[in-house]
Structure formats: C-alpha cells, structure tokens
Amino acid sequence: MNRASSYVVAAACLAIGATWSLQPASSQQASSTSELNYEFFKSKVQPVFLAKREGHARCVVCHTFNNAPFKVVPLSPGATAWNEEQSRRNFEMVKRVAMPGFLESKLLIHPLAEEAGGDAHHGGAQQFASKNDPAWQTLRDFVMGAKP
C-alpha cells in the first residue's frame, strides 16, 4: 500500500468512528424488536395529547404552534380529533421525541414531574405527577413498541 492510499484508509476509519459516535444513545439501548406502532399511536396516544388534565393546558394547545421539537398538527375547525391524514403526519412528527425502546425519550421525560424522574423544566409544566399515571404509561407503552 502506498502512502496516499493508507491516508485514505485512515480517513475512512475516522469517518466511520464519527458516524458511530453520532448515533443517538437510543440505538444502543433499543431492543431490536421495538418499533413505534401507528395504530397504537392513533387510538391510544393521540387522545393523551387531546385530554385535559387538572390544572394544565392540553398538549395540543401549545404544541401546534410553539417551537418545541414536539409538534402535532392543529385540529380542523370544529373537530375534536385528528383525521387519518393528520394522524399520519402527527405520527411522523412524534418520532422526533419518541425513540423506539428508549425510556429516556423526551416524550416520556419532558412532561413528567422532576420528582418522578422527569426533566426539571417543561414549558407545559409537569403534566404527569408520576409514572403511575395511566396516560404516562400509555406514552411509555408506545415508545416501547406496544401494539393495539
């Protein structure tokens, strides 16, 4: 091997190393079988985004227009739920904060009370007081690949 080609090999190795280190921690922890299920998302998770929790605004109120990484499409005028096409778009967008099989996903940690293992600050407050909240458990099941 001449000098030039060994440089190429070294550069390629560096590039591969860089790619690996850029992968989210989730891909190391995720079990190979967990993936996000659309039907579960549509029938179980979306209602969590629409539900009113005592003392809190609904997720959908803020997350249709604010700049947070978590986004859902606005409901159509007069509608109380998303239609099929909107649900598909929500499913694509939620992937930014729901890493399959990864319990530290922002969707789980950000709206959860700090005492229960959540983030210290969420613009939408501590929507779930503990991991025993059935709505939080629905989000967790979704991230862990639950099917309807």
Residues at the contact surface with ligand HEC, assessed by CB under 6 A:
56-57, 59, 61-63, 66, 68-70, 97, 106-107, 110-111, 121-124, 127
CA pair distance 26, 119, nearest whole angstrom: 17
A 10 A CB-CB count for 4 gives 7
Output the smallest distance, CB 20 to ligand HEC, in A. 23
Q: Using CA atoms, how far apart are residues 60 and 48, in angstroms rounded to an integer?
A: 9
Residue 12 CB, nearest distance to ligand HEC (Å)? 33
State which residue, 30 or 63, has the beta carbon closest to ligand HEC: 63
Give the C-alpha separation, 32 to 30, whole Å. Answer: 6
Minimum CB–partner distance for residue 66 and ligand HEC (Å): 5
